[in-house]
A and B are shown apart, each in its own frame.
Chain A
Amino acid sequence: MPATDAALQIETLAQDPVPVRARAIGQWTFNGLKARRDELAHNLAELARQPAERVAWDLTGVTELDDAGAVWLAHAMHGAQRVAVSARHRDILRQVSQGLLAPTEAGGRFDPLWAVVWLGQAAAEFAVHLRDAVALLGQLVRDGLGMLRRPRDFPRREFSAGIFRAGVTALPVTMLVGFLVGIVLTYLSALQLKRYGADLLVINIVGVGVVRELGPMLASIIAAGRSGSALTAQLGVMRVTEEVEALSVMGVSITARLVLPRVLALAIALPLVAFCTDIAALAGAMLVSQFTLGITPAAFLVALPKAVEVVNFWIGIGKSVAFGFAVAFVACHYGLRVLPNTDSLALGVTRSVVAAITCVIILDAVFAIMLRNVG
C-alpha cells in the first residue's frame, strides 16, 4: 500500500443530533503530517472550537499513528464522546490525551516580595560561603603549621608544578599586557603633562602607578583568569571523579594535600610575575617617553629611582603575595564546592574568577587605605 499523507474529511449533516463528522485517514505521523500541515492545523482548530458533543470522530481510516499525530488529534478531540478508533491506536491516543490533561507545572504567581526573598537567599548563601571560607582558612593555617613540624610530608611536586604553571607559563601574556599598559599610560600622561611643561613628572606618575599599583593588579587579574580558573576546574573535576573523596577516605587532609601547595605556589609565583610585569610596563613607558617627550632611556633610568621610592616596590611585591594567596584560596574554595555535575563545574569556575578578581580589588583598596602615608 503506498504511503498516504494524513488527511481529514469533514462532513456536516445539519439535521443529525451530531452534525459534524470528522474522518481522519492516512498516516498521522511526524512525516505524514508535513505535506498538508497548515490545512490540517486549520481544520483541527476549527473542529476543536465546536462543542465536543457535536462532533463524531472516525479514526478507523488512520493507517499509522505516532505521538505527533496523536497529539494533534487529541487536542482537537478534547472531550469528544463519539470516537471510533481501531484497537491498535487506542492506547497511544489514550496515553497522549492523558498527557495533555496532566497539569502543567504552575509558574507560581508573581510574588511582589521576590526581590526581598532573592536578597535574603543571596545573603544566606553568602553567609554560608563566608563560613566555609573561614573554616577552610583555619584548616589551612592548622595544616600549614603541622607541615612545619613534618616538612617531609609537604607535597613538593604539586608545589613546584604550581609555581611553574602559575608563574613561568604566565609570563608571556602578563608581560605583553604590562608592556602595552605601560605604553598607553605613559602616552596619555605625556599628552597632559606636556601642556604644563612638566614632562619629567611622567616618570613619577607612571613609575609609582606601575610599581605600586598596576603591576601587581594586572598580574593578579590575569592570574585569576588563568590560574584561578584552572585551579577551580582541576579541583572541581577531582570532585566529580570522586578523587577528593578517595583522598578523604584514606585519611589524607584535603587542605594539606591539595589546597596548601596551590595557595603557596601562587603566593610565591605572583610577586615574581608582578615583578616581570613591572619591568615590561616600565620598558613600555621608557619607549614612549623617548618618542613623545624626548626623555632618553638613560635619563629615564637615572630619574626613576629618585622619582619612585623603593618602598613602593616592596609594597607592590607585598601586595602581590597577598593577591596570589587570595586568588588561589578563592579558586580552591570554589573548586572544592563543585557538585558532581557539569553545570556546577561551569558555575563554580565562573564564580571563582569573578570572586577572585573582586577579592583582589577589595584587598587592594584595603592596602591603599592602610598604606596611604607610606611612600
Chain B
Amino acid sequence: MSAEAGEHVIEIEGLLNLVGTQVLHRDLSLRVRRDEVLSLVGGSGSGKTQLLRVILGLKRPKAGVARVFGVSWDDRNAKKVRDARRRMGMLFQNGALYSALTVYDNVAFPLRERGGLAEEDIRAIVNTKLAQVELEPRHGKLLPANLSGGMVKRVSLARALALSPDLLILDEPTAGLDPDRALRFVQLIKRLRQDHRFAVLMVTHDLDTLHELTDRVAVLADQHIIACDTLAAVRGLEHQFVQNFFGGHRGRRALQHG
C-alpha cells in the first residue's frame, strides 16, 4: 500500500525496538494523516525520542515497518528515499543548527543541497522563510552561537520549512521558551499551516501547546501507543499516565483555558 495516493504520511506497524537487551517498544503502531497535527505524549523514558529517531531513519528498528510517505528507509532505491527525506522537515529540540554556518547559510543549506536552484532564487526563498518566522534579513549574518533560544528555534523552523515540506516533525518545540514565546511559536506554526497544509508530528509535554495545535493525541505508554484519538477522547482514558498527565492541576487548567 502506498501512502503516495493514500492519506497517511507516516505508517508504523508492529514496531519492535530494543535498548541494549531491554524492550523499549513492542508491537507499536501509529499512523499520521496527511492533514493533521498529531502530538505524541508519553512519560519520561517511554521512548518518544527513540520513536522519532526511527521515523527519521536515524535508528533501525529491530522488527516492524516504519514508512514515511510510503517509503521505508531501508529501501534500496536511493532516489526514492532521498525524495521522501526532502518532503519532510525536522525541528530538533535544541535546534541542531550548523554552528559553523550563519543563519542565512543554515536556512539555505537544504536548498543548496537539493541543487538546481540559482543563488538568487535561494536568496529569495531564504529571505521569505526568515520573514515567515519573524526574522529580518539582517539576522541572516549572525552565527547560531549569537542567537537567543527562541531565535534558534525559529531559525531551525525556517530551515525545516525551507523545502516546503509536507511533513514537519517537532521535538519539544516549546521546551525552554518562556510562556509568551511558547505561545507565539505555537501561533506561528498555526499560521504557517494555514498557508501550506503540511502534516505535523510533534512530541510535547506542554499542555497549552497540545491544546492549541493538536488534532489528535497519541499516547505512548507500556511500550506501545495505547491510544490515538482526539484530545477529548484520550482524556477520558482509564490509564494511570493519562489520568496524571491530563487530570493533574496543570492539565485541568490548560483545558479550561481552551
The answer, among A241, A243, A249, A252, for a CB contact under 8 Å with B90, is A249
The reply on B58 being an interface residue by CB < 8 A is: yes
Count: A-B pairs, CB below 8 Å: 40
Q: Which of B34-42, B91-99, B117-125, B232-240 contacts A (4 or more CB under 8 A)?
A: B91-99
Chain B residues within 8 Å of A246, by CB: 90, 92, 96-98
Chain B residues within 8 Å of A249, by CB: 56-58, 85, 88, 90
**Interchain CB contact under 8 A, A243 and B82:** no
**Interchain CB contact under 8 A, B92 and A245:** yes
**Interchain CB contact under 8 A, B110 and A242:** no
Q: Which chain A residues (135-170) contact chain B, with CB distance < 8 Å?
A: 153
Given contacts A250-B110, A250-B113, A252-B113, A245 and B85 within 8 Å (CB-CB): no
Chain A residues within 8 Å of B81, by CB: 251
The reply on A4 being an interface residue by CB < 8 A is: no
Q: What band does the interface of chain A fall in when counting residues whose beta carbon is under 8 Å from B?
A: 10 to 19
Q: What band does the interface of chain B fall in when counting residues whose beta carbon is under 8 Å from A?
A: 10 to 19
Known: A242-B92, A248-B56. 19 other contacts (CB 8 A): A241-B94, A241-B96, A241-B99, A242-B96, A243-B99, A245-B56, A245-B58, A245-B92, A248-B58, A249-B56, A249-B58, A249-B88, A249-B90, A250-B86, A250-B109, A251-B81, A251-B85, A251-B113, A252-B113
User: Could you pull out 25 A-B pairs where Cβ atoms are within 8 angstroms?
Assistant: A242-B92, A242-B94, A242-B96, A243-B96, A243-B97, A243-B99, A245-B92, A246-B90, A246-B92, A246-B98, A248-B58, A249-B56, A249-B57, A249-B58, A249-B85, A249-B88, A249-B90, A250-B86, A250-B109, A250-B110, A250-B113, A251-B81, A251-B85, A251-B113, A252-B113
Chain B residues within 8 Å of A243, by CB: 96-99
The answer, among A153, A245, A251, A252, for a CB contact under 8 Å with B96, is A245
Question: Whole-angstrom distance between the alpha carbons of A128 and B18 in the complex?
Answer: 18
Chain B residues within 8 Å of A242, by CB: 92, 94, 96
Question: Whole-angstrom distance between the alpha carbons of A249 and B96 in the complex?
Answer: 11
Q: Mark A235-271, 1 if CB is under 8 A from B, else 0.
A: 0000001110110111110000000000000000000
Q: SS class of chain A's interface: helix, strand, loop or mixed?
A: helix
Question: Whole-angstrom distance between the alpha carbons of A252 and B85 in the complex?
Answer: 9
Chain B residues within 8 Å of A252, by CB: 113
The answer, among B57, B86, B94, B98, for a CB contact under 8 Å with A248, is B57
Chain A residues within 8 Å of B109, by CB: 250
Chain A residues within 8 Å of B98, by CB: 243, 246
The answer, among B86, B94, B99, for a CB contact under 8 Å with A251, is B86
- A244 nearest in chain B by CB position: B96
Question: Whole-angstrom distance between the alpha carbons of A248 and B113 in the complex?
Answer: 12
Q: Mark B98-135, 1 if CB is under 8 A from A, else 0.
A: 11000000000110010100000000000000000000
Question: Whole-angstrom distance between the alpha carbons of A241 and B97 in the complex?
Answer: 8
Question: Whole-angstrom distance between the alpha carbons of A153 and B114 in the complex?
Answer: 10
Shortest beta-carbon distance, B166 to chain A, in Å?
15
Chain B residues within 8 Å of A241, by CB: 94, 96, 99
Q: Which chain B residues (206-243) contact chain A, with CB distance < 8 Å?
A: none
Chain A residues within 8 Å of B96, by CB: 241-243, 245-246
Shortest beta-carbon distance, B185 to chain A, in Å?
19
Question: Whole-angstrom distance between the alpha carbons of A353 and B92 in the complex?
Answer: 31
Question: Whole-angstrom distance between the alpha carbons of A241 and B99 in the complex?
Answer: 9
Question: Whole-angstrom distance between the alpha carbons of A245 and B85 in the complex?
Answer: 13
Question: Whole-angstrom distance between the alpha carbons of A248 and B88 in the complex?
Answer: 12
Chain A residues within 8 Å of B57, by CB: 248-249
Chain A residues within 8 Å of B94, by CB: 241-242
Question: Whole-angstrom distance between the alpha carbons of A243 and B98 in the complex?
Answer: 6
- B162 nearest in chain A by CB position: A250
Shortest beta-carbon distance, A235 to chain B, in Å?
12
